[in-house]
Every structure is written in structure tokens, then in C-alpha cells.
């Protein structure tokens, strides 16, 4: 099978694409798979690291407001449609799959114009602009939530599959856990708080964690914190101003990005994160409790709705982006890690909404479309 996967911008778009690619390769090892993204997103790191070739095109959101930068970006996006069409024409795919980002517009439109079967996966409860815009051109629309159906036409095309992810529930022995933690200079005695803000980092989460560290509030627990590739140096400089060496902080390890997230999610006692669809999926699968700081949205407030689903299950606590600071976040962490039994119950509650065999369902849809 020859497959193009269009994904760009964030790990929440790219990682589902990689999970789908891995499933195709597992079932059909001779398959040829390439990704199409932009030259400025984290796909330039994640895709080659996963062992796949990445081709890039110009792609920005079409902006109606008149300004010089908007005109330039709109022109580049239109140019990107031609670039995408060239890639599709030369690669001759059996199917084109979109998993998120503005990149989907040009790539899927190009494939549709050439009669190539197309599919998109929408991980959010509220479908994004690309999914709505492309719905008439798609052979299948795969969604993570039943609720998403309410916002889409062409219901005969919509299939609920859940969201594919590389993160899975795995059994890690005490000895393996100790080794994993020692590699980041942490121990297996204190509770582990895993903190991240998505592939790009999250400024408000980072600011709050900086305060916790500067005030040495994490005496009774340890933090493994992915600050984000673009924000890591900012965090490093902020700590340095207070005489704190980022590579030598008691009970703390700060990194730009975590690549082996499966291991760390499975051994963590508590997660502090945004509440994107991918994070909800991963936490439900591994069964972990969380403190969510939802990303604010001007449109449909997707992340707060995601977080509330977990809160109602008794699997998470919420602090809004506007309210979060080192005091309330630090106090909430401290209160939760005191009782590991209660944390375990929260994790079991998260597991109640886990969807399994997601990649199998998606692969079956891919095969059906290609055969047809």
C-alpha cells in the first residue's frame, strides 16, 4: 500500500499519524508511507525520528483580515496547494490520510481532484476548520467522540474509532521503573509528577512550575517536566537568574521534550497538563489521574470540555489558565500526592472511558476504502 499522511503543527496532529503509519507497516511491511507537513513544525523532528520521510509544503490558515503578513501567508498557502499536488502526482498514493493542521487542505484537495481516496481523523469533540471544509471531498471521516457527529454533515461517512496513539498501557517492573527514573536522576521512592504542556510547551504551566521549584515546594514529590522545545531556554534562563542550574535541581528533571512518553506515563503517579484530545486518550488508556490546565479557546472551548469529562468521572482536577499559579498548583499537587490510594482510584476512573483497538478499526477502514 502507498500512503500519504498529512499532519503538521503539533504532536496532537502528528502522533496519531505516526500511530496509523506504524499500524499499516505492522500489517503490510512492504507499504510505502510518506508524511507531508511544513518546514516549521515539530513534524520535522517527530516524523524522521519515527523512521518516515517528510516532504514539506507551504501552509497557513487563510486569514480574512487585510494586512501585509496575511496577504503573504495567503499567497504562500495557495502556492502550497500546487506543491501538494506535485507530491501527490509523483508519489501516486493508494490513499491520503489527514490527521490535523492546515496542511490537510492542500494535500487532501489535491488527492481528491486526482481521484485518490481520502480520509481524515478528527481527534477533538468539536471538528476543526479543515475537517468541516473538506467533508464533502472525503471518503471517510474518523472521529474520536460520538458527540462530534452532531457538528458534521454527510453522516454516512462518519465513523467513531477513537484516537490512535503511540502511548499504551504497559506493565513495568519495580526494577525497570528504578532504572528508567535513574536515567533522569530521579528515584523510585517519592511520588512522580509528570508535567507537560503539549509539544510546544505551555507558558502558564511553565511559569507555575518555575515558582514551585524556586520556592522549593516539591520536597515531598519529584517532577519530570517537559517544558517544550521553544520554551526550554526561557525556563533555563529564568531559573538561572535565581541561581538555579536547570541540570542540577533536587527532585526535578526538566527537558525540552519527552520522546518515550509511554514509559513515563505508566510510572507517573500524577499528570499535570493541558487537556487536549490526545492527552485525554493517553490518560484514559494508561489509567492516570491528572490536574488539567485547559488551553483557552476563542471558539468552541474544546479543552475545558475535555477536562470536565474527566473531572465528572472523578479522574481529574481543573485549574483554569487564568487562575493557575505556583501557589494553587503547588497546593493541589501536595494534597493529591499525600494519598496514593486515592490517586490510584482516580486513575481507575480515567480508564473507564478508554477506547481499545483504535488502530485496528482505522486500518479496516483504510483497507475498505482502498479496495473500493
Sign of CA dihedral 272, 275, 279, 280: positive
The reported pLDDT for the residue numbered 296 is 87
Q: If DSSP states are collapsed to H, E and C, what string results for the chain?
A: CEEEEEECCCHHHHHHHHHHHHHHHHHCCCCEEEEEECCCCCHHHHHHHCCCEEEECCCCCCCCCCCHHHHHHHHHHHHHHHHHHHHHHHHCCCEEEEEECCHHHHHHHHHHHCCCCEEEEECCCCCCHHHHHHHHHCCEEEECCHHHHHHCCCHHHEEECCCCCCCCCCCCCHHHHHHHHHCCCCCCCCCEEEEECCCCCCHHHHHHHHHHHHCCCCCCCEEEEECCCCCHHHHHHHHHCCCCCCCCECCEEEECCCCCHHHHHHHCCEEEECCCHHHHHHHHHHCCCEEECCCCCCCCCHHHHHHHHHHHCCCEEECCCCCCCHHHHHHHHHHHHCCHHHHHHHHHHHHHHCCCCHHHHHHHHHHHHHHC
The reported pLDDT for the residue numbered 247 is 93
Here the cell at position 259 is 520522546
The reported pLDDT for the residue numbered 102 is 80
The reported pLDDT for the residue numbered 11 is 81
Please report where in the chains the cell 509523483 appears, as a residue. 90
Topology of domain 174-353, CATH: Rossmann fold (3.40.50)
Topology of domain 2-163+356-371, CATH: Rossmann fold (3.40.50)
The reported pLDDT for the residue numbered 62 is 53
Here the cell at position 14 is 502528528
The reported pLDDT for the residue numbered 264 is 97
Asked if domains 2-163+356-371 and 174-353 share a fold, the reply is yes
The reported pLDDT for the residue numbered 149 is 86
The reported pLDDT for the residue numbered 58 is 81
Task: Find residue 160's DSSP bridge partners.
Answer: 143
Here the cell at position 344 is 490510584
Q: Domain residue spans in the chain?
A: 2-163+356-371, 174-353
The reported pLDDT for the residue numbered 138 is 94
Please report where in the chains the cell 490558515 appears, as a residue. 61
| Mean pLDDT, contiguous 10-residue spans, the chain (372 residues) | 93 91 97 94 92 88 59 60 92 96 89 96 82 89 86 87 90 96 96 87 91 94 94 94 94 94 96 92 96 79 83 96 96 96 96 92 96 84
pTM above 0.75, yes or no: yes
Amino acid at each position: 500500500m502507498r500512503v500519504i499522511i498529512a499532519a503538521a503543527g503539533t504532536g496532537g496532529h502528528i502522533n496519531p499519524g505516526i500511530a496509523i503509519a506504524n499500524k499499516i507497516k505492522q500489517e503490510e511491511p512492504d507499504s510505502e508511507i510518506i508524511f507531508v507537513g511544513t518546514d516549521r513544525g515539530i513534524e520535522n523532528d517527530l516524523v524522521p525520528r519515527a523512521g518516515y520521510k517528510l516532504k514539506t509544503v507551504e501552509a497557513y490558515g487563510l486569514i480574512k483580515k487585510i494586512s501585509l503578513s496575511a496577504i503573504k501567508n495567503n499567497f504562500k498557502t495557495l502556492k502550497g496547494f500546487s506543491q501538494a499536488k506535485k507530491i501527490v502526482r509523483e508519489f501516486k498514493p493508494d490513499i491520503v490520510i489527514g490527521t490535523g493542521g492546515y496542511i490537510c487542505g492542500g494535500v487532501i484537495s489535491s488527492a481528491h481532484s486526482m481521484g485518490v481516496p481520502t480520509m481524515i481523523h478528527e481527534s477533538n469533540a468539536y471538528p476543526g476548520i479543515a475537517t468541516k471544509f473538506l467533508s464533502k471531498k472525503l471518503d471517510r471521516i474518523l472521529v474520536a467522540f460520538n458527540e462530534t457527529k452532531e457538528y458534521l454533515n454527510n453522516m454516512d461517512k462518519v465513523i467513531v474509532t477513537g484516537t490512535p496513539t503511540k502511548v499504551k498501557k504497559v506493565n513495568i517492573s519495580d526494577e525497570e521503573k528504578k532504572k528508567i527514573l535513574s536515567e533522569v536522576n530521579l528515584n523510585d521512592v517519592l511520588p512522580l509528577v509528570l508535567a507537560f504542556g503539549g509539544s510546544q510547551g505551555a507558558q502558564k504551566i511553565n511559569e507555575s512550575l518555575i515558582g514551585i521549584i524556586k520556592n522549593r515546594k516539591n520536597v515531598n514529590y519529584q517532577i519530570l517536566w517537559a517544558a517544550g522545545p521553544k520554551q526550554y531556554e526561557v525556563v533555563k534562563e529564568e531559573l538561572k537568574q535565581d541561581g538555579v542550574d536547570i541540570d542540577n535541581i533536587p527532585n526535578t528533571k526538566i527537558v525540552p521534550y519527552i520522546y518515550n512518553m509511554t514509559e513515563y506515563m505508566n510510572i507517573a503517579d500524577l499528570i499535570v497538563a493541558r487537556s487536549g484530545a490526545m492527552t485525554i486518550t493517553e490518560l484514559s488508556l494508561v489509567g492516570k489521574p491528572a490536574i488539567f490546565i485547559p488551553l483557552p479557546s476563542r471558539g468552541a472551548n474544546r479543552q475545558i470540555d475535555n477536562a470536565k469529562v474527566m473531572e465528572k468521572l472523578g479522574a481529574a482536577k481543573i485549574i483554569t489558565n487564568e487562575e493557575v499559579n505556583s501557589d494553587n498548583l503547588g497546593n493541589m499537587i501536595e494534597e493529591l500526592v499525600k494519598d496514593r490510594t486515592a490517586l490510584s482510584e482516580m486513575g481507575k476512573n480515567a480508564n473507564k472511558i478508554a477506547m481499545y483497538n483504535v488502530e485496528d478499526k482505522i486500518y479496516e477502514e483504510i483497507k475498505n476504502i482502498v479496495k473500493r
